[in-house]
Structure 1
Amino acid sequence: MSENKFVEVSAFSKIPFRYRVSSLVIAISLLVLIGIVLDRTVNGFFSIVLSFLFIIALVFIVKKWIVAKLEFNRSPFKKLKQFIVVNKLYDEETSDVSKDNKRKKVVVNSAFFEFNSTDDELIIRALKNGDKYTDKANTYDSMLGALFGLEVSNKVDNVNYCDYIFNTKADERLIVRENELEYNQSTIIPLNSATVWDIQKFPHALIVGATGGGKTTFINFLIIEMLKMRAELLICDPKHSDLYSLHHFLGTERVAGQPNHIARVVRTAKEIMDARFKEYKGDSTSYGKNYRSFDLPPVFLIVDELGALRMGAEKKVFAEMFQNLQEVILKGREMGVFVILATQQPNAQNIPTEVRDNLALRVSLGNLSQEGLRMTFGAIDGDLQTVEGVGSGYVFLEGLGWSKPKSYQSPFLDYENFNFIEELKKYANIAN
């Protein structure tokens, strides 16, 4: 957005003239004056017509002013001016002499705000001018949220100002139904109407779901979207739950449940990555190219409940598996090998910080403890609110400048009109 679209508000700001009662009085006075002048030049029938037109014009002017005034009363300008006054974000001094020779208080300093409003977004900018209000500029999250009745979706704090960004149009949840066979030629997976996951820009994902939060349904959605990319899937499920049952359709070479088998599948992902590096990145002509440059399909390694695997596997087996997993997370993006980790209980043992920080997409579903949210998203500026409904939670994409996770509703799979297994078969080219 261009800077000249921002409107400044402070304790010094005056209500724009067009919204004052005086502007209405002047408009009506001009109308009356014009009516008097015209009335003296016409008679009879034309005088009646003139009076009728005068009444219509009077009603039009008053109505238009009232509508404009009501809109102004709901405007960010009016709300911010009241915010400054109510919270005493200004300084006054008593003047020595005024026009009526009486001492009175005058504003000598103020907190300064700017706003920029579009159909989709409202930005409130708290300016930092090096005065006593500078340190407060990045502390208005909850106060501004309450003032506008919106949740701060992002916050950008720098040396000159702090932007509070509000979405004025709610993100729409995706409703997934059965459709005709349609492949995805891009690197983008939609998450809702406004947010997409570009696997090339933001590789790897962490999905955390409390019991009944909708984690499995979200993973089902991602699996179909990955298959639309003609991707190869590798799945590890040490708890032998729903994901493990997919070995009936995808084969035991790609879906594992036992620790040794899981270690082998993770090793397969690393070997695919290493083989691609060796074949496609071996000479100078490959500089700056990635897996899409060579028309290679993406590979997704889904590992559910790393903590259960840690508990069930021999120490040596787990150590080897985890080392291979880390290497894929660190190097896999360039050659199109991506990792999705899923868990119910995020903690430093299940998802070490050095691993989490390399997972660009992070999603929590259901209500987690504040500690669980911190382990999922890292340091959070303020607490996140409780969510309601299956599939509700928070989403965070590393690298977009988000200051904290955003409220999120994962795609709704309309199971009355969507058969996951049949969709899986269709995109995985599995015969019925």
Structure 2
Amino acid sequence: MRFWHNRGRRVRKYHKHIRGITFALFYLPYLLGCGFFLGLNYQDLLNQPIFYGLLTGSLLLGSWVVSFMLQRYCYSHLLAFSKLDSLRIMANFLLENGYYLSKKIKRDNHTREKIILPKVYLKQSKYDLKASFILQGNKFQDKFLTLGNTLEIQHDGDFTGKKFTKGYVTYVIAIDQFAGRLKLSDVKVTKQGLRLMKDVYWDYVKQPHLLIGGGTGGGKTVLLMILLYGLTPIADIDICDPKQSDLSSFADVPIYQGHIFVTKEEIVDCLRANVEEMEERYHYMKSHPDFVAGMNFAKFGLRPKFIIFDEWAALMAKLEGNYQLQQQVNQYLTQLILEARQAGIFIIMAMQRPDGEYIKTSLRDQFMKRLSVGHLEDTGYTMMYGDANKNKEFKYIDEIDGKKVIGRGYISNAGEVAREFFSPYVPLDKGFSFKEAFMKMSPLPETPIIASSSSVDTSSAIFDDSTEVTPDFLTLSEAKSELDKSYDQLKKLITLIEKNGFYTFGKEGGKLSFSPEELDTLRSIFNIIDKGNLTYKEAVESYYQEA
């Protein structure tokens, strides 16, 4: 049990004049110095009053300018002085709006008014300010309950929420968020999640699925590349780019080969394959001897997997009129959003605004992290951040200290108040290339589902190669090595061939096995894909039409 709550420093009446007080303290040493100097030269002062008068005046004026500049610097750069300024602003707010009690005191036939401020406390750190106001039936209780937007504007920050503790209401204001902007090299996954700002993280396990909004030119695509940069070293990534623009240009990057999808057929196949992988992950987890209900993917050595969509609305436009594919997409997306979190599969969806025309509101509500960059209209902000932010003042700022800023926006957890956000700084103006950075990244080792353990049935019967097969046939793992392809690439091709009825691969003991002729078939189709720059579906159809 806590007997003492540290709410910060109480706001007092004299804080209204705190800048004058600090200036006097800065100026006082110069005044004392001049007085000491004149005292030492008192006789000369009497003999030459004009000279010493001009000298002293110049010294006092110069020291006044120095004190003024020193004070401005301190209030702009030092946290201790920033705290004092916040006390000044709050004291002025309480006095100007009449939030105080007055008492008349009679003494020596004179009456004076004594002003008593209510109990208001400020506690400030580098990135936030907490203002606590007394309730407990206080005269101003009702007004103290609705100060969020006022404090946000007053302290030039972002109101991010309020809480009630022991007869007080505490407002949290995020301040100086631009100072919390990261460099790209600092975007890494930590125990708290993916670090996006100095004090902002995306814990994708606790807040699954990320929804990104923003107008054209606001920085959505660059933000997606930043997310790729931070997540690729620890996760498997599938990229769906129906616009066939920036993200699809990474198709020849080794770590993304076979994981970039641009046509509507490819994207539907990608969603279907991820639903199958989700089911395989759950099968592996539940078959594990250490399985306990409630454990997630990380407990079993599985990596997280992210499916990234750049402009979901573009995909919906491509599917317009094709109701069968639309139904499949919505079905697979619903399964992944509602069921895949515990298996470690997460959706990152970017679009100009999350309109119900393109994504069901019931699914939109399942995105537990929301992020917007650039400027949105009021309806766009309402769609992004919901009723919790209907009274929030979303500010449009494109310049800070005279410099144009790209990547500014807001971020929140679903159902919470949004706060100001700045995308990590990317030195594109200095020649940085995301593609070159991705080219240098090494592929991740196989996951337990792929590299099966003999003691545990780690995958579905179709894609498990733990059973011995005859010497003339190759296991899935051997075929993968022979073809120099990833498990996902091989699995995708086999599924596409069998689904369209072109061929059914043999199995021994319920496990896939490949004859030399079947291996040649797969090799030929992969050659068609690589040389003809065709999609998997186009390459399969081309091969079997010629055959």
Provide the TM-score with structure 2 as the length reference: 0.60
Structure 1 254/377 Cα, relative in aligned 2: closer, same or farther at 3 Å? same
Measured in 1, the distance between the counterparts of 2:282 and 2:357 equals 30
Matched residue of 2:216: which SS?
A: coil
| Pair 1:232-2:246 in alignment | no
Equivalent AA in structure 2 for residue 135 of structure 1: D
| Pair 1:135-2:139 in alignment | no
Equivalences for residues 54-203 of structure 1 within 5 A: 74-92=84-102, 98-100=106-108, 111-148=118-155, 150-158=156-164, 160-168=167-175, 170=177, 171-176=179-184, 188-203=193-208
Aligned to 2:225: 220
1:81 deviation in Å? 3.1
Measured in 1, the distance between the counterparts of 2:147 and 2:174 equals 17
Structure 1 187/322 Cα, relative in aligned 2: closer, same or farther at 3 Å? farther
Identify which of structures 1 and 2 has the higher relative contact order when contacts are C-alpha pairs closer than 8 Å and 6+ apart.
1
Structure 1 135/293 Cα, relative in aligned 2: closer, same or farther at 3 Å? same
| Pair 1:4-2:12 in alignment | no
Measured in 2, the distance between the counterparts of 1:404 and 1:90 equals 29
Equivalent AA in structure 1 for residue 412 of structure 2: F
1:421 deviation in Å? 1.3
Aligned to 1:383: 393
Structure 1 71/367 Cα, relative in aligned 2: closer, same or farther at 3 Å? closer
Does the 8 Å contact 2:188/2:194 carry over to 1?
no
Equivalent AA in structure 2 for residue 81 of structure 1: A
- RMSD (Å), alpha carbons: 3.8
Q: Which moved more, 1:218-227 or 1:157-166?
A: 157-166
1:347 deviation in Å? 1.2
1:398 deviation in Å? 4.2
Equivalent AA in structure 2 for residue 422 of structure 1: E
Matched residue of 1:248: which SS?
A: coil
Does the 8 Å contact 1:10/1:84 carry over to 2?
no
Structure 1 72/306 Cα, relative in aligned 2: closer, same or farther at 3 Å? closer
Listed one character per residue, the Cα deviations across residues 245-304 of structure 1 (whole Å, up to 9, x for unaligned) are: 333336674222222221110111111111110111246731142211111121111122
Structure 1 346/264 Cα, relative in aligned 2: closer, same or farther at 3 Å? same
Matched residue of 1:322: which SS?
A: helix
Does the 8 Å contact 1:11/1:111 carry over to 2?
no
Structure 1 318/144 Cα, relative in aligned 2: closer, same or farther at 3 Å? same
Aligned to 1:397: 413
1:319 deviation in Å? 1.7
Structure 1 84/328 Cα, relative in aligned 2: closer, same or farther at 3 Å? same
Measured in 1, the distance between the counterparts of 2:149 and 2:192 equals 36
Provide the TM-score with structure 1 as the length reference: 0.74
Measured in 2, the distance between the counterparts of 1:217 and 1:104 equals 63
Number of residue equivalences = 374
Measured in 2, the distance between the counterparts of 1:165 and 1:83 equals 17
Measured in 2, the distance between the counterparts of 1:306 and 1:120 equals 34
The structure with more helix, counted as a fraction of residues: 2
Aligned to 2:506: none
Matched residue of 1:418: which SS?
A: coil
Measured in 2, the distance between the counterparts of 1:323 and 1:75 equals 55
Does the 8 Å contact 2:236/2:305 carry over to 1?
yes
Measured in 2, the distance between the counterparts of 1:220 and 1:146 equals 33
| Pair 1:264-2:269 in alignment | yes
| Structure 1, gaps ≥5 residues long | 21-62
| Structure 2, gaps ≥5 residues long | 23-66, 72-79, 399-404, 445-483, 485-547
Equivalent AA in structure 2 for residue 134 of structure 1: Q
Aligned to 1:427: 441
Does the 8 Å contact 2:371/2:411 carry over to 1?
yes
Equivalent AA in structure 1 for residue 181 of structure 2: R
Measured in 2, the distance between the counterparts of 1:310 and 1:345 equals 13
Measured in 2, the distance between the counterparts of 1:114 and 1:183 equals 36
Structure 1 312/119 Cα, relative in aligned 2: closer, same or farther at 3 Å? closer
1:103 deviation in Å? 6.8
Structure 1 106/259 Cα, relative in aligned 2: closer, same or farther at 3 Å? same
Measured in 1, the distance between the counterparts of 2:123 and 2:83 equals 16
1:364 deviation in Å? 0.7
Does the 8 Å contact 2:374/2:409 carry over to 1?
yes
Matched residue of 1:164: which SS?
A: strand
Matched residue of 1:339: which SS?
A: strand
2:423 maps to which of 402, 405, 410: 410
Listed one character per residue, the Cα deviations across residues 337-371 of structure 1 (whole Å, up to 9, x for unaligned) are: 11100101321222333222222221111111111
Structure 1 120/173 Cα, relative in aligned 2: closer, same or farther at 3 Å? closer
